[in-house]
Amino acid sequence: MKPSALLGVVLLCLSATVLAKPKTGAEWDRCVQNVPEQVFRDSGRFGVDEWVAKHCGATKPLEGGKMAKADCDRLFEIQQECKRFEADNLWSLSNASRGNANSLLAGQKLEQFDQLCQAVGHGKAMPSMPSFSARFCTK
């Protein structure tokens, strides 16, 4: 094999590992912390969300089928905010709370979480932590 072809194969393998999305929650956290400042300056929060989805993955990976306890606790706190502020939905909450929910949940789970926020905000009882955890913090 020619040296230039071998170099090409090595570079391809290295770029695949560098460009691979994070597999663990800790890798995802590090990736999210490395968003280039220029992305925010050029495109604002929407640009940052797009960059994170493209380079890190839209949501933090679950490890062993379970979300980290601190992340699950944060989601539970957000539901408590829904009740405290009598929220109509997630959009009624702060950008930070919405961003946390969006980074930890996706698709159907995010929709269910939003529906629960609305129900709790309109007076429905909060689920217990074990019930909430089983519903939102596992695969």
Looking at residue 59, the DSSP 8-state letter turns out to be S
Q: What are the pLDDT digits (tens) for 36-84?
A: 999 888 988 778 888 988 998 877 877 667 888 999 999 999 999 999 9
pLDDT the model gives residue 7: 45
Which of 20-24, 67-71, 102-106, 118-122 has the highest mean predicted lDDT (pLDDT)?
118-122
Q: Half-sphere exposure (CA, 13 Å, Cβ side) for 136?
A: 31
Looking at residue 20, the DSSP 8-state letter turns out to be S
**Are 133 and 72 within 8 A, CB to CB?**
yes
CA proximity to 97, closest of 107, 108, 83, 128: 83
Cβ–Cβ contacts within 10 Å for residue 39, how many? 16
Taking the CA atoms of residue 32, residue 133, residue 126 and residue 28 in that order, the dihedral angle to the nearest 10 degrees is 0
**Coil/strand/helix, residue 81:** helix
Report the Cα–Cα distance between both ends of the chain, in Å, rounded: 46
Q: Give the tokens for residue 34.
A: 């490395």
